[in-house]
């Protein structure tokens, strides 16, 4: 989503005037958010450099679904003038553009820093320069809490669980000390703190979402990011899936429609929520280990996976499950789509969006199984 391609402005007929800016708006989350807003009649400008594989297809889908209404700026968030031009017209900003993979950050920490920290500062400075800064929502990550080495874990069946029953029942809340781990954790954590500080020092009405594993349609899942989609795609391709560690590591998963609901609630309540960080995820009821996801895929969807194991990767949390209680108490939000239903929906979307691949693989879609 953010590589140095310069800036090319493309408009599709949306009138000039205040609008919603989504940086990284051609990515997975941005596409779903833009579709929701456009469907509600809100003008949207997507700012994205289209460097991530698959995002051009997302843009084509948005244009076809909302002809003549979507604005697109092909630009990098590191391009300060391009960011300022966009933000100067914004009445709200969703800042999603980022370098998103721990592994990539380990290979090129400087680029990771430039995109995640410098890019975020460009957005914040552009917002601060406005006579009345527009509301801003920044998507951070659970990686700001580090590897959680002090959380005692027990292995039960095919997953890790905290030895502390209270923590096992509720998950990690915002009281957890920050402990940046990996260049990616450092860059996202630094950006997270800058957003909160601009709310405090410069009255930018901003809120931070520290998100767990988001999944759903339009996700270009890879080995490094978007693991639920990656597992499904590898199974459909009959490819080899690499599991790092023992596969018992646990994450809570959140379907993208539920995340978009939370984002819009945060914007509606920005006057009272500004300056706060919220943990956002599926919670204990939507937690899965890697092996449990494979079991679900085999049992519900009939997808068998060839698997090999490799060593643990740096910074990989063996357990992270979100406690979203703070945001729920503030807004009434809670996830509505359970993990089993969400995984099935994502699989159905992959089947419908890539029918040739499914036919070639010989795999059966969920619709044929139900």
Query: Among this protein's residues, is 255 annotated catalytic?
Result: no
**Helices and strands (H and E) in the chain: how many:** 16, 16
Pairing outcome for strands 70-74 and 8-10: antiparallel
What contacts 24+ positions apart, CB below 8 Å, involve 146-152?
146/178, 146/179, 146/180, 146/181, 146/185, 146/315, 146/317, 147/179, 147/181, 147/315, 147/316, 147/317, 147/318, 148/172, 148/176, 148/179, 148/317, 148/318, 148/319, 148/320, 151/319
Which one-letter DSSP state was computed for residue 172? B
> What are 132's two structure tokens?
């009345």
- Maximum distance among all alpha carbons in the chain? 59
Q: What angle do CA 70, 226, 146 make, to 5 degrees?
A: 115
In the β-sheet with 90-95, what is the strand arrangement from edge to edge? 8-10, 70-74, 44-48, 19-23, 90-95, 136-141, 206-211, 277-280
Catalytic residue among 160, 184, 194, 255: 184
Rounded to an integer, what is the distance from CA 6 to the centroid of its chain? 24
> What are 318's two structure tokens?
């063996």
**Cβ neighbours around 150 below 10 Å, total:** 8
- Type and span of the H or E element at 244: strand 240-244
**Catalytic residue ranges:** 184
């Amino acid at each position: 989503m953010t590589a140095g391609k310069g800036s090319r402005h493309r408009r599709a007929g949306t009138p000039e005037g205040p609008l919603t800016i989504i940086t990284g708006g051609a990515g997975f989350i941005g596409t779903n958010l833009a579709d929701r807003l456009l469907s509600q009649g809100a003008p949207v400008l997507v700012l994205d450099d289209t460097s991530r594989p698959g995002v051009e297809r997302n843009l084509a889908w948005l244009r076809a679904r909302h002809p003549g209404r979507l604005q697109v700026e092909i630009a990098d968030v590191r391009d300060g003038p391009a960011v300022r031009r966009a933000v100067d017209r914004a009445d709200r900003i969703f800042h999603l553009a980022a370098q998103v993979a721990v592994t990539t950050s380990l290979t090129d920490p400087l680029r990771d820093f430039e995109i995640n920290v410098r890019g975020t500062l460009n957005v914040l400075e552009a917002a601060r320069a406005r006579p009345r800064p527009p509301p801003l929502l920044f998507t951070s990550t659970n990686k700001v809490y580090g590897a959680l080495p002090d959380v005692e874990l027990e292995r039960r069946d095919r997953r890790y669980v905290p030895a502390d029953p209270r923590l096992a029942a509720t998950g990690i809340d915002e009281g957890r000390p920050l402990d940046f781990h990996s260049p990616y954790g450092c860059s996202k954590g630094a950006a997270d703190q800058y957003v909160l500080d601009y709310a405090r020092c410069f009255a930018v009405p901003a809120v931070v979402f520290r998100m767990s594993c988001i999944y759903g349609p339009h996700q270009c899942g890879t080995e490094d990011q978007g693991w639920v989609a990656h597992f499904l795609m590898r199974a459909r391709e009959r490819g080899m899936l690499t599991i790092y560690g023992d596969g018992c590591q646990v994450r809570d998963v959140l379907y993208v429609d539920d995340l978009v609901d939370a984002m819009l609630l945060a914007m509606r309540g920005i006057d009272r929520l500004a300056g706060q960080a919220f943990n956002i995820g599926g919670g204990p009821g939507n937690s899965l280990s890697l092996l449990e996801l494979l079991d679900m895929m085999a049992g519900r969807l009939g997808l068998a996976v060839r698997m090999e194991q490799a060593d643990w990767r740096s910074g990989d949390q063996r357990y992270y499950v979100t406690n979203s209680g703070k945001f729920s108490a503030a807004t009434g939000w809670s996830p509505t789509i359970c993990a089993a239903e969400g995984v099935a929906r994502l699989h159905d979307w992959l089947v419908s969006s890539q029918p040739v691949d499914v036919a070639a693989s010989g795999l059966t879609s969920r619709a044929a199984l139900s």
